[in-house]
Amino acid sequence: MKMLELSDNALAVLRSRYLMRDRDLKIVETPLELFQRVAGHMARAELIWGDSTEAERWEEVFCDMMTSGDFLPNSPTLMNAGTSMGQLSACFVIPVEDTMEGIFEAVKQMALVQRTGGGTGFSFSRLRPASDPVFSTGGKAAGPVSFMKIFDCATTHIKQGGKRRGANMGVLRVDHPDIMDFIRAKKDGQSLQNFNLSVAVTDSFMRAVMAEASYDLLHPADGRVTGRLKAAGVFQEIVQAAWETGDPGLLFMDRINKDNPTPHVGRIEATNPCGEVPLLNHESCNLGSLNLARMLQCKGKQINEEKLIQTVRRSVRFLDNVIAMNRCPISEIQTVTQGNRKIGLGVMGFSEMLIRMGISYDSGEAERIGLHVMERIHQEALRTSQELACKRGVYPNWKGSIHEKKGLRLRNAALIAIAPTGTISIIADTTPSIEPLFALAYRRTNVLENEELKEVNPLFREYADACHLNTDQLVEQIMEKGTLKEVEGVPEDMKRVFKTALEIPVERHLAIQAAFQRHVDNSVSKTINMPADATASEVAKAYWKAWELGLKGVTIYRYGSRSNQVLQLGAQDRPYHYDHGSRCDPEECRI
């Protein structure tokens, strides 16, 4: 077993969040022992369908996948597998009912989930609008936004798994009477700091915007019309708020529910905090990501198809075992999760893979590679889930599902999701998710408690050394500027391959997201970041393009529009500007 050589930043993250501690908070586990703990716990699921010999074999396979950096599961699995906590899922959606008891039951369930390391999503669309009569008390309703502040306050005082701050997704339907308050909820720069916000829009709403028509606002209790708004005006408010603060994003609910594998169980109303997993109420999902940078032939110019297929098959089995070994903190979640057995296999290291292949992220070839890779991953995930269904049985809610109608016997109702991989990509020492390089040098904040990680891209160092450039001198310049764009004496091929996020047009980012989404049955988390001087009209164009491409959701972030953004360009504390008109997109900066 060959252990991945861990970077200083990887070790810092592991020590801060993942390695086990004793009662005196002293670390009592090495990185290798962590992976052995997780692998052993997952392999015990094999005893349900096989014998100890099989379990031992798969324990070795699972451990090798993680120690090599080929695959890593989501954070709660790394934190809690083989411990008394036992909660292994990353993503949850909790219903919020329109009663005081229902609202505070949701707050309680959120706390129970977040303390184990899970992120929570909510649709607040069932809550009556502000100032609506409350007949039981003779008072007036506070409205969704007011109650969201209670959830936000509770999250502030809960660390996920005792190791990181909580994360929420708040969703409101575009036809809710309080939609304008929701859109503007974060414009003060202070409110709802533990929430990402997304407006649940419909195709009919988007068509009404296009036609400059009005649309009805509907009371959530009985669907009666309470008013009308001009769709274009609401859309412009969304655009303006996103330009100013990064929130809200859009969820295209018709597309999401078109792909809902179990419509007979319920309609999807919300997603997890970063949007890559649309979930039913009281449903959770287990995520894991394979490292595309390690799926190349030894010379790095071609994809190792055999290794890719093998890693996908092993990863799907690993994630199905996670469901078997998981202990959900709430019985309703356990029931729905076991009924659908959703998993979310994703990727990290896409940008590193392209660089090693000599391909610019800003190219049609990058889009083609992404489409091909995701197609292969989805094909093999389907085959593996079918094989597991033959031995272990189909997921319990299969009868009545879209898969039954297709004659497709699967172990898992959903298989693929592209998550942000913020911390596990640091452990694997690769680029996050399907994002381009954010910068060649940057500061990463909010990853560790009151600690800032300064990073210089190791690929850049490797490439510069191979080109016999003065690496130390180049590093000094990019620590100041963040990119090669303004650095003299650098070969054009190097500038082309090492284009960073803010040098890449928005259209290219959306094209990459769409290429992956074509073979993703869940969704894709990717923020469309823009330079500080991008205009609101550019935000609007990106939203329209995302809808036209058939994406399930889209998030805009204009660089510098939040004081607490996760990544900061360069190593100096100064604003960074690009030429006006260049539309670009750095790494995921929402929670």
Predicted local distance difference test score (pLDDT) of residue 149 = 96
Do 348 and 431 meet the contact criterion of CB atoms below 8 Å apart? yes
Contacting residues for 306 by C-beta, under 8 A, at least 6 apart: none
Which parts of 287-363 fold into alpha helices (H)?
305-325, 331-340, 350-357
Nearest to 361 by CA among 433, 465, 422, 423: 433
Per the model's pLDDT, the better-predicted residue between 233 and 572 turns out to be 233
Mean pLDDT of the chain: 90
The answer, yes or no, to whether residue 587 has pLDDT greater than 90, is no
Mean pLDDT, residues 493-499: 91
pLDDT above 90 for 559: no
Reading the block at residue 86, the tokens are 């036992």
pLDDT tens profile 370-421 = 999 999 999 999 999 999 999 999 999 999 999 999 999 999 999 999 999 9
Check: CB of residue 302 under 8 Å from CB of residue 315. Answer: no
pLDDT tens digits for 228-259?
999 999 999 999 999 999 999 999 999 999 99
pLDDT band at 578 (very low <50, low <70, confident <90, very high): very low
Q: What is the mean pLDDT of residues 546-557?
A: 95
225-230 vs 249-252, strand pairing mode: unpaired
Q: What pLDDT sits at residue 265?
A: 97
Residue 22, C-beta contacts closer than 8 angstroms, at least 6 positions apart? 28
**What does 265-286 look like in DSSP terms, one character per residue?**
T----EE-TTSS-EE-TTEEEE
pLDDT at 430 over 90: yes
Q: From CA 15, how far away is CA 79, in angstroms rounded? A: 11
| 560 confidence band (pLDDT: 50, 70, 90) | confident
Phi, psi of 138 (to 5 degrees): 80, 10
Share of the chain above pLDDT 70, in %: 91
Distance CA 119, CA 167 (A): 5
Nearest to 16 by CA among 163, 167, 162: 163
What value does the mean pLDDT take over residues 142-162?
87
Q: What is the mean pLDDT of residues 485-501?
A: 86
Residue 5 burial class via C-beta count within 10 angstroms: exposed 0-12, middle 13-18, buried 19 and up: exposed
Residues 6+ apart with CB under 8 A from 311: 65, 70, 71, 290, 295
pLDDT of residue 582: 26
**Whole-number Cα distances in Å, 486 to 249, 392, 474, 477, 499:** 32, 57, 11, 9, 12
521-558: b (≥16 Cβ within 10 Å) or e: bbbbbbbbbbbeebebebbbbbbbbbbebebbbbbbbb
d(CA 150, CA 127): 14
8-state DSSP, 292: G
Question: What does the pLDDT look like over 435-487, one tens digit per residue?
Answer: 998 888 766 665 555 566 666 778 888 888 888 888 888 877 877 776 787 78
Q: Report pLDDT digits (tens) over 39-82.
A: 999 999 999 999 999 999 999 999 999 999 999 999 999 999 99
365 pLDDT higher than 50: yes
pLDDT attached to residue 591: 30
How far apart, in whole angstroms, are the C-alpha atoms of residue 474 and residue 584?
23
pLDDT at 309: 98
Where in the sequence numbering do the catalytic residues fall? 272, 274, 276
pLDDT of residue 565: 56
**pLDDT tier for residue 179 given thresholds of 50, 70 and 90:** very high
The DSSP string of 466-529 is HTT--HHHHHHHHHHHSSSTT-TT--HHHHHHT--GGGS-HHHHHHHHHHHHTT-SS-B--EEE
Output DSSP code: residue 397: G
Question: Residue range 153-160: average pLDDT?
Answer: 83
